[in-house]
Amino acid sequence: MAHPKRRQSHTRGAKRRTHYKAETPNVTVDPVTGTMHVRHRAYYVDGDLYYKGKQLLAAKQ
C-alpha cells in the first residue's frame, strides 16, 4: 500500500474539510394534516403514519 512520504499540514486538512457543512433539512407543510415534516419521508401525526398526505397505518386503540 502507498504511504505518504511527508505528513500533511493542518491547513491542507482544513482545506479538504471546507465542504463538510451542516445543512438544514428540507421541511414542508402537508396540505392534508397541516404538520411540518421532512420531504420524501414517512411521518407520524398523533400515532398515525402518513406519506404524501395518505394515511399508511392507523394508531393502535
Q: What is the pLDDT of residues 44-54, one digit of tens each?
A: 999 999 998 89
User: Does residue 1 register a pLDDT over 80?
Assistant: no
Res 22 pLDDT > 90:
no
Residue 9 included in any domain:
no
- Give how far Cα 32 sits from Cα of 6, 9, 29, 41, Å: 60, 54, 9, 15
What is the separation, in whole angstroms, between the first and last Cα of the chain? 60
Q: Which residues contact 32 (CB under 8 A, 6 or more apart)?
A: 50, 53, 54
- Can you give the pTM of this predicted structure? 0.58
Q: What is the mean pLDDT of residues 26-52?
A: 91
> Which pLDDT score is estimated for 9?
93
Give which of 57, 48, 26 is closest to 39, Cα–Cα.
Answer: 26
53 in a structural domain? yes
Looking at residue 59, its amino acid is: A
Residue 31 domain-assigned (yes or no)? yes
Q: Is residue 19 situated within a structural domain?
A: no
For residue 35, give its domain range. 24-61
